[in-house]
Structures are given as structure tokens and as C-alpha cells.
Structure 1
Amino acid sequence: MKLRRSSRLVDMTGFLLQHPHQIIPLSYFSDRYESAKSSISEDLTIIKENFESQGVGRLQTLAGAAGGVSYLPCMGCAEAGRLLANLKEQMTDAGRLLPGGYLYMTDILGRPELVNSIGRLIASVYADDQIDAIMTMETKGIPLAYAVASQCSVPVVVVRRSSKVTEGSTVSINYISGSSRRIQTMVLPRRSLKENARVLIVDDFMKAGGTMKGMMNLIKEFGATVAGMAVFVEKKDEQHKLVDHYVSLLKLSIVEQEDRLFMEEGNVVDYMRSREAEREHV
């Protein structure tokens, strides 16, 4: 279809936003719009500058016969700060406290606009890493996992506490819950992960990290690799977490005597700044 540049820019922008982390050959756009590759390159330069100025993401150009352009979703530190401030405000109601030190988050995780923003934030942290799959534990982590996966264009792998006949043969491991110190079970279908896959673990809430540690061990059983770990809310405790090198969006502190809770930013913005510094250095 032959389009004017203004229409071409709109259509091309929409296409890139819907196909993150996919290498699109310039010839595809050239054929799609019946335009010369030189014109397509100029269009992509305009889109690239707009994405970066608006903090939407980055366009990565790959040279060579198999090259093209790839859209990497990103969220700037300023936008991330605004999102975290909004989430903190909504989650500091003492009525969210549940028995056992847990937090009611179903309403937050049920709002697509918030979940999608959280997913874009997590995906932007790992935008420069190779991610082959997103893993989470049933059930409340599933919306977050799909939000991240949609930004990374990779499948979601859901770990369950018991096997289902519809999933075929499974791999099962026992793990120790970090908070209750009880032995629990997690299972994953054998077809879920390929050997050498790089897996990003995403979860909604972490107390001591026992579930995260269990998923790490489960990934090793498949001969795969943990590419990173991200959690929406972690409980701020004196006790040592069972996992390291994870990204958290928010930290929860509870004053049990007063039945009050406090929410503060996690380490995600600091992690983003360090990654930006690494890119600038390179």
C-alpha cells in the first residue's frame, strides 16, 4: 500500500509497538509501503528520535543481510518514579494487611493499565538481555508474567503446586518455604522449557525468597539458566533473603503493634540507572 509519509510513520510506529524484540527487515517495510529503503531509513530515524524523547523505548538497528530494526520497550527513570509513587499511594492502606504478613493486591493486579505499566517497567530493566521465557508461580503472579512477556515477545511458563493431567509428564521438586520453613512441592511440564533457555523469573510478592529459590532450582533441572528475577513487592525483614541479585519495585514494612504498613521504593530505579551507565560506557 502506497502511503504518504505522515500515514506511513503512524502505521510503522504502531507495527513496531506491537512487535517488540522482533527483528524487522527493512525490505519488509519497503514492500509494505511500496517505498525505497532510503525513505524507510529516514522514517525510522524520525521514529527513533521520537521514542527516545518520549521515553517509550529504543530502536536498535542491525546491519547485514539478516539485519533490520528491532524495537526495545523501555521506561525512563522519571516515568518509573511516577509509576512507583502512584503504586505506593494506592497500597499503603492498612486494610490491605492479611494474616501471615501478606498483602492484598488482587485489585491492583486486576487493572490492565497498571499491570501493563509494571510489565513494561520490568521488561525495560532486562531490555538488553536475552530472555527466552518468563516464569512465575501460580496464581497471582500470572498477570504480571504475561504483561512482561508481551513486552519481551516470549512465552510464559507457569509453575504449579500439583500436576495436571492435561500438561503431560512433569518435573517435580521439593523446596523449603523461606517464611514457614515447610517443605512444599512445585511442578512444571517437561515441554515447558528447552535446554539452555534463559528464563526471567517474575512474582508478585516475596517474603523470604523460598519460592524464588525453588523456581531457580527447577530451572536448573531443565538445563536452563536464570537470566534475572523481578518481584512486584518484597517484604522488608531483618532476616536474610534466600536469593540475591533480584529486582523489586516496592518494599513493604509492617508495624504489627500498630497494625500499620509502610511502602517504599525497591531497587528497580537504582538498577535501571546502573544499566543506563553500562550502556553509555559501552
Structure 2
Amino acid sequence: MKMRRSERIVAVTKILTDQPYKLISLNYFTERFNAAKSTISEDLSIIKKVFSVEKMGKIETVSGAAGGVRFIPDKGVKDIQNVIYELCEYLSDSTRILPGGYLYMTDLIFNPALMDKVGEIFATKFSDLGAEYIITMETKGIPIALMAARALNLPLVSIRRSSRVTEGSVVSINYVTGSSRKIQQMSLSRRALPEGSKVIIIDDFMKAGGTAKGMLDLMGEFKAEVLDLGVLVETAQPTDKLVEDYTSLVVLENIDDFKEEIIVRPSGWVTNLK
């Protein structure tokens, strides 16, 4: 069916945004929509302009025989800051305080719309690193990491706290939690990650960094190159973490049970964005 330009632009946009970072040839669009390459190129120019003005991401054209066009998620400064401030507002709700001074976050982590935005922020931050896999720890890290993996169009690999028969041969390590100093175990199937892979680790929460350090050590067993480590929420204390290089979105300053007060703020790099 021959489409009008307005209809075709909607369809092309949907195809591109559903497959971020995937290079799609112009021939695919010309054959699918029965249109000339010059016509498709004009469509793409319109989409590219709108996306640039509205800060909705980038439409990148690659020339040559193996070239084509691809969509790169790229949230603008205002969008990133708005999402982070929204997240801080949610987390500041005093009803989230649990006995023992813990913070309830599960509903936010399993909110698809919110984590989709968070995933795009991580994707924007890590877009130029050349990662091949996203790594996370079960279970609360999975929704965040999955959305980041989707935005980067990369496979997600989940580390388990204990091995399963269905995983086949696994690599297991013991690690010490940074806060409670307990010895725990994590494992990953040998089939899940090729040796020498370039990876980004995504996690939901960091206090002292014991779990993050364990994941870094486990990646060492696979000879993987860890390009960065993304964390949704980190605590302000202790200031000395067991890992040095990481990117958090929100800093939990304090939970005061007596005053029923939660103090959170955006991470420094977020407020410094221009």
C-alpha cells in the first residue's frame, strides 16, 4: 500500500525507535514502503530535525555500501534533570522509611515507565563506551539494567546469588558485603558471557560497595573489561567505597527515623550538566 508522507514518517520513526543502535539500510525502507531513496532520505531529514529540536534522541546516517540509518537514545540535559528530580521527590516520601532505617524502593524499581526513563539516562551517559553486554545482580537490579540494555540494544546478563543446575558450568566467587561484612556468594554461567567482553555493570543500590566489588571481581574471572558501573542510588556514608569509579543518579544523604525524614539529592554530575 502506497503511504502518504505523514503516514510513512510515523512508521519509519516507530521502526527506528523500537531498535536503538541497530543500523537499518535505506533499501529496507524503500522496499517496505515502495518509495525512492531520495523520498526516504527526505523523510529521515524531517525526523532528524524534529528529534534534534525536541531532544528526543539522534538519527544518525552512515554512508557507504554497508551504511544505513539508526536511532541513538540521547536524553537532553533538562530531561535528565527532570527525571532525577522526580526520582528524588519519590524517594523523599517519609512513608518509605522501613524499620531499621531502610528505604523502600521496590515499587519504583518495578515501575516500567520510570525505569524506562532511567535506562535511557544510563544509555545516554554510556553511549560512547562501546559496551557489548550489560551486567547486573539479581533481583532488584534487573528492571533497571533491562531498560538500560534495551536503550543500548545490548544483551543483559544477570549474576545469581547461588548457582542453578539449569545454568550448566558456572564460575562462583565469595565476596564480603561492605556494610554488614558478611561473606556471600555470587555466580555466573560460563555460557552467559564470552571471555574478554566489554561490559557495563548496572545495580540498584550501593552503600559501601561490597556487592559492586564482588561483581568487578567476578568479571575479572571472565577477563571482561568493565567500562563503567551505573548505580541508581548510592548512600552518602560511608564516603570511602570499596569501588572507586562508578556513576550514580541519586545520593541518599540520611534517613531519620525519629523525625521521619529522608534526605536525597541528585548526584553531582547531574546538577553540573549544562
User: If the length of structure 2 is used for normalisation, what is the TM-score?
Assistant: 0.94
The 5 Å alignment of 1:62-101 reads 62-99=62-99, 101=101
Q: Distance in 2 between matches of 1:36 and 1:255?
A: 61
Q: Distance in 1 between matches of 2:42 and 2:171?
A: 50
- In the superposition, relative to structure 1, how do residues 133 and 7 fare at CA in structure 2: closer, same or farther (>3 Å)? same
In the TM superposition, residue 268 of structure 1 has moved relative to its aligned partner by 4.6
In the TM superposition, residue 169 of structure 1 has moved relative to its aligned partner by 1.0
The 5 Å alignment of 1:1-282 reads 1-99=1-99, 101-256=101-256, 258-269=259-270
Q: Secondary structure at the match of 2:158?
A: strand
In the TM superposition, residue 255 of structure 1 has moved relative to its aligned partner by 4.9
Q: Are the counterparts in 2 of residues 125 and 272 from structure 1 also a CA contact under 8 Å?
A: no
- In the superposition, relative to structure 1, how do residues 33 and 272 fare at CA in structure 2: closer, same or farther (>3 Å)? farther
- Per-residue CA deviation, residues 103-154 of structure 1 (Å, 9 max, x unaligned), is 2101112221111111111111112221211111111111111111111111
In the TM superposition, residue 99 of structure 1 has moved relative to its aligned partner by 4.9
Letter in structure 1 aligned against 2:167? E
Q: Distance in 2 between matches of 1:92 and 1:112?
A: 20
Q: Are the counterparts in 1 of residues 81 and 271 from structure 2 also a CA contact under 8 Å?
A: no
Q: Distance in 2 between matches of 1:108 and 1:41?
A: 40
Q: Secondary structure at the match of 1:80?
A: helix
Q: Distance in 2 between matches of 1:54 and 1:22?
A: 22
Q: Distance in 2 between matches of 1:77 and 1:248?
A: 16
User: If the length of structure 1 is used for normalisation, what is the TM-score?
Assistant: 0.91
Regions of 4+ moved over 3 Å: 98-102, 255-259, 270-273
Q: Are the counterparts in 1 of residues 207 and 238 from structure 2 also a CA contact under 8 Å?
A: no
RMSD: 1.7
Equivalent pairs counted in the alignment come to: 273
Q: Secondary structure at the match of 1:248?
A: strand
In the TM superposition, residue 157 of structure 1 has moved relative to its aligned partner by 0.8
- In the superposition, relative to structure 1, how do residues 76 and 26 fare at CA in structure 2: closer, same or farther (>3 Å)? same
Q: Distance in 2 between matches of 1:187 and 1:270?
A: 36
Q: Secondary structure at the match of 1:205?
A: strand
Q: Distance in 1 between matches of 2:272 and 2:190?
A: 33
Q: Are the counterparts in 2 of residues 247 and 267 from structure 1 also a CA contact under 8 Å?
A: no
Q: Distance in 2 between matches of 1:222 and 1:238?
A: 29
In the TM superposition, residue 45 of structure 1 has moved relative to its aligned partner by 1.2
> Structure 1: where are the runs of 5+ without partners?
274-282
Q: Are the counterparts in 2 of residues 250 and 266 from structure 1 also a CA contact under 8 Å?
A: yes
Letter in structure 2 aligned against 1:53? V
Q: Distance in 2 between matches of 1:132 and 1:270?
A: 29
Letter in structure 2 aligned against 1:30? T
Q: Are the counterparts in 2 of residues 161 and 186 from structure 1 also a CA contact under 8 Å?
A: yes
Letter in structure 2 aligned against 1:67? G
Q: Please say which of residues 90-99 and 142-151 is displaced more in the overlay.
A: 90-99
Q: Distance in 1 between matches of 2:255 and 2:204?
A: 21
Q: Secondary structure at the match of 2:27?
A: helix
- Per-residue CA deviation, residues 205-229 of structure 1 (Å, 9 max, x unaligned), is 1101111111111112112111211
Letter in structure 1 aligned against 2:265? E
Q: Are the counterparts in 2 of residues 48 and 58 from structure 1 also a CA contact under 8 Å?
A: yes
